[in-house]
Amino acid sequence: MVFDKQKVDYSLYLVTDSSMLPDGTTLYSQVEAGLKNGVTLVQLREKDCETKDFIAEALEVQKLCKKFNVPLIINDRIDVALAIDADGVHVGQDDIPIPMVRKLVGPDRIVGWSVGFREEVETLAKWGPDMVDYIGVGTLFPTLTKKNPKKAPMGPQGAIKVLDALEEFGANWCRTVGIGGLHPVNIGRVLFQCVSSNGKRALDGICVVSDIMAAKDAGAATKNLRRIIDQGNYHFVNLQLKNSAITQETFKSVLGQVALTRPLVQHVTNKVHQNFGANITLALGSSPIMSEVKDEVHELARIPNATLLLNTGSVAPVDMLKEAITCYNNEQRPIIFDPVGYSATETRRLLNDTLLSHGQFTCIKGNTSEILSLAKLTVEKMKGVDAFVGNVDEEMLSRATRIVAYTYKTVAVCSGETDFVADGTENGHFTLSNGPVKTAIDLPCVKINNGPISIMGDITASGCSLGSTIACCLGGANAESNVFDAVVTAVILYKTAGKLASTRCQGSGSFHVQLIDALYELFHANEPARWTASYRML
Ligand code: 3NM
Ligand code: MG
């Protein structure tokens, strides 16, 4: 009798590897510690093992699994699986073809397949429900465990594509586990972000090798993984992520908190923006630091009210940018991401995608071109870093903003003559298997307008400085304030200041100065009732 495959719990899947066991542990002691503390599925994976030894090992692991009523899957070796009467097998793309596997193992055993691409999902959907029971979706992140990896890490966005394909091709029976480089630092984020675009499907679980097999205390490591999975919440920022009413009272309270806390805003930004952004930050009662030093980011992130503005027009080294993201995420401090010139060149797209898959951003702010290309609503390349000037209507811009908010589970801001702010943070909540059902179009979205301010386009770094303004407002916010409120406040304040400065300036030179003055004045007066930008919840 094999394990009833309808009853498999995929939430925490342990794949073994005997080559990484710490001193004083054995394959069996590690597997048992995992089973005792919440592993729900085990795969025996031995790449360098004589058949006889593999069978002996498999029988021992099988005893352990039976004791905990957890199914055992055998990697690659169908013969071994049949010989010991295992509950299932797992094969990769270059192993025995699935229809042959199924023929050999019969209808009742679990069959798993490693999948990374949409076309592979299309194939498994064509085979129908009697072939593949679950897929390992990966490789998610870089890992040293898999020797000679054939696939580049796909990140959460790649996993979303696989989930979307399962929905598109109607493979509703097929369960999914994320795999590759999964550790406590990224599992909450993966479970939070990896939801199909139609909102119906989330990952059924996660799969780890080294996090348990190489752990000095495999029991504690498993407990920690179990806690992250069962928590159902990903706390990436120590602010509130709730539905919001958007009132002048909230604007006033946000600015009041900024004045009170004087947040540190770390700018990693482009040269053109550095001086201007620092002055905008000072005008908003906040404290700028323009540091690109990798070794100090962990200290900076620990400063109360520290906030990171990451603007990828920057030339900072990628490992510095990644370290900064990791540190601010670990400290649950806000990160504002400005993907400057996303899609203008292949190099920029790659850099931005790398960073987007590296961490969780509290806010992603872009101009119309950047948001449209992040939302994959335009295939046109950007010309330099300027905003798209073609014919896009507001419906398309609000849709793009919502899609970016939804796919990155963030507050997305699209700046232009009309600004849009959409909230995809969903309280940081996630569930296994089932998505939130709602889709991008259901997300709250605010439209902000103050008439055309054409001179905005005649100075440098006006968009980048909206990023600074958002960073000040998010940085100042206290634990009871809502992320969406803080971002909306910043956008309305900035729009109001832009208009005011444009009525006072004589040209682009004095507009620069007037913009700083206007922000200074509006910030210190803190009278949102007099702000001129209009806002409307769509
Ligand atoms: N398969 P770790 S990645 C066994 O992408 C395996 O199909 C992968 O190990 C795939 O949890 C992988 O130590 C190794 O990163 C995962
Ligand atoms: Mg294989």
CATH no. for residue 368? Answer: 3.40.1190.20
Mean pLDDT (the chain) is 94
- Considering the domain architecture, whether residues 218 and 285 belong to the same structural domain is answered as no
Residue 534 is encoded by which pair of tokens?
């209009």
* Structural domains counted in the chain: 2
Of all protein residues, whose CA lies closest to atom 13 belonging to ligand 1? 210
Instruction: Give the length of the chain.
Output: 538
- Considering the domain architecture, whether residues 221 and 260 belong to the same structural domain is answered as no
The 3-class secondary structure across 344-362, one letter per residue, is CCHHHHHHHHHHHHHCCCC
- Considering the domain architecture, whether residues 280 and 137 belong to the same structural domain is answered as no
Q: Which ligand is nearest to the CA of 43?
A: 1
Lowest mean pLDDT among 224-233, 339-348, 411-420: 339-348
Q: Which ligand is nearest to the CA of 76?
A: 2
| 8 Å CB contact between 366 and 415 | yes
Query: What residues contact residue 254 under an 8 Å CB cut-off, 6+ apart?
Result: 473, 476, 477, 481, 485, 486, 489, 490
The phi, psi pair for 266, rounded to 5°, reads: -80, 120
- Considering the domain architecture, whether residues 473 and 341 belong to the same structural domain is answered as yes
75 CA → ligand 2 middle, Å: 6
Query: Each residue of 417-462: pLDDT tens digit?
Result: 999 999 999 889 999 999 888 899 999 999 999 999 999 988 989 8
- Considering the domain architecture, whether residues 202 and 119 belong to the same structural domain is answered as yes
- Considering the domain architecture, whether residues 271 and 318 belong to the same structural domain is answered as yes
In a domain, 239, yes or no: no
90 CA → ligand 2 middle, Å: 7
163 CA → ligand 1 middle, Å: 18
Q: Which ligand is nearest to the CA of 114?
A: 1
Q: Ligand 1 atom closest to Cα of 210?
A: 13
Percent pLDDT > 70 in the chain is 98
In a domain, 238, yes or no: no
pLDDT value for 46: 86
Summarize the confidence of residues 527-538 as an average pLDDT.
95
- Considering the domain architecture, whether residues 222 and 276 belong to the same structural domain is answered as no
- E strand or H helix at 394: helix 394-408
- Considering the domain architecture, whether residues 227 and 253 belong to the same structural domain is answered as no
Query: Each residue of 81-112: pLDDT tens digit?
Result: 999 999 999 999 999 999 999 999 999 999 99
Last residue of a domain, one of 173, 197, 231: 231
Of all protein residues, whose CA lies closest to atom 3 belonging to ligand 1? 180
Last residue of a domain, one of 181, 202, 231: 231
Instruction: List helix spans (H) across 26-117.
Output: 27-36, 51-67, 78-84, 98-105
What is the C-alpha to C-alpha distance for residues 167 and 198, in angstroms, rounded to an integer?
8
Q: Ligand 1 atom closest to Cα of 146?
A: 14
| 8 Å CB contact between 202 and 175 | no
84 CA → ligand 1 middle, Å: 24
How would you class 252 by CB atoms within 10 Å of its CB: exposed for 0-12, middle for 13-18, buried for 19 or more? middle
Of all protein residues, whose CA lies closest to atom 5 belonging to ligand 1? 139
In a domain, 320, yes or no: yes
DSSP 432: S
Q: Which ligand is nearest to the CA of 78?
A: 2
Q: Please choose from 46, 146, 187 the residue to mutate so as to test ligand 1's pocket, defined by most ligand atoms within 8 A of CB.
A: 146
Question: Domain residues for 96?
Answer: 5-231
- Considering the domain architecture, whether residues 148 and 204 belong to the same structural domain is answered as yes
Lowest mean pLDDT among 283-287, 374-378, 480-484, 502-506: 374-378
94 CA → ligand 2 middle, Å: 7
47 CA → ligand 2 middle, Å: 9
DSSP code per residue over 69-95: T--EEEES-HHHHHHHT-SEEEE-TTS
pLDDT value for 16: 97
Query: Each residue of 464-502: pLDDT tens digit?
Result: 999 999 999 999 998 889 999 999 999 999 999 999 999
- Considering the domain architecture, whether residues 22 and 123 belong to the same structural domain is answered as yes
Summarize the confidence of residues 301-327 as an average pLDDT.
93
Q: Please choose from 21, 46, 139 the residue to mutate so as to test ligand 1's pocket, defined by most ligand atoms within 8 A of CB.
A: 139
What is the C-alpha to C-alpha distance for residues 324 and 349, in angstroms, rounded to an integer?
19
Q: Please choose from 39, 47, 76, 179 the residue to mutate so as to test ligand 1's pocket, defined by most ligand atoms within 8 A of CB.
A: 179
Last residue of a domain, one of 170, 196, 231: 231
- Considering the domain architecture, whether residues 377 and 445 belong to the same structural domain is answered as yes
pLDDT value for 384: 54
Q: Ligand 1 atom closest to Cα of 181?
A: 15
Summarize the confidence of residues 260-264 as an average pLDDT.
97
Query: Each residue of 2-55: pLDDT tens digit?
Result: 999 999 999 999 999 999 999 999 999 999 999 999 999 999 998 888 899 999
Question: Amino acid identity of 387?
Answer: A
In a domain, 420, yes or no: yes
Taking the alpha carbons at both ends of the chain, their separation in whole angstroms is 56
CB 197: neighbour CB atoms within 10 A? 18
Q: What is the CATH number of the domain that holds 116?
A: 3.20.20.70
Q: Ligand 1 atom closest to Cα of 207?
A: 11
In a domain, 242, yes or no: no
CB 36: neighbour CB atoms within 10 A? 15
| 8 Å CB contact between 367 and 387 | yes
Of all protein residues, whose CA lies closest to atom 16 belonging to ligand 1? 180
In a domain, 101, yes or no: yes
- What are the catalytic residues? 464
| DSSP reduced 3-state for 299 | helix
In a domain, 241, yes or no: no
Q: Give the range with max mean pLDDT: 206-215, 364-373, 447-456.
A: 206-215
Residues at CB less than 6 angstroms from ligand 1: 15, 114, 136, 138-139, 143, 145-146, 179-182, 208-211
79 CA → ligand 2 middle, Å: 14
Q: Ligand 1 atom closest to Cα of 214?
A: 13
Residue 240 — very low, low, confident or very high, per pLDDT cuts 50/70/90? confident
Residue 117 — very low, low, confident or very high, per pLDDT cuts 50/70/90? very high
Q: Which residues pair with 367 in a beta bridge?
A: 415
How would you class 133 by CB atoms within 10 Å of its CB: exposed for 0-12, middle for 13-18, buried for 19 or more? buried
In a domain, 206, yes or no: yes
Stated pTM of the model? 0.94
- Considering the domain architecture, whether residues 99 and 39 belong to the same structural domain is answered as yes
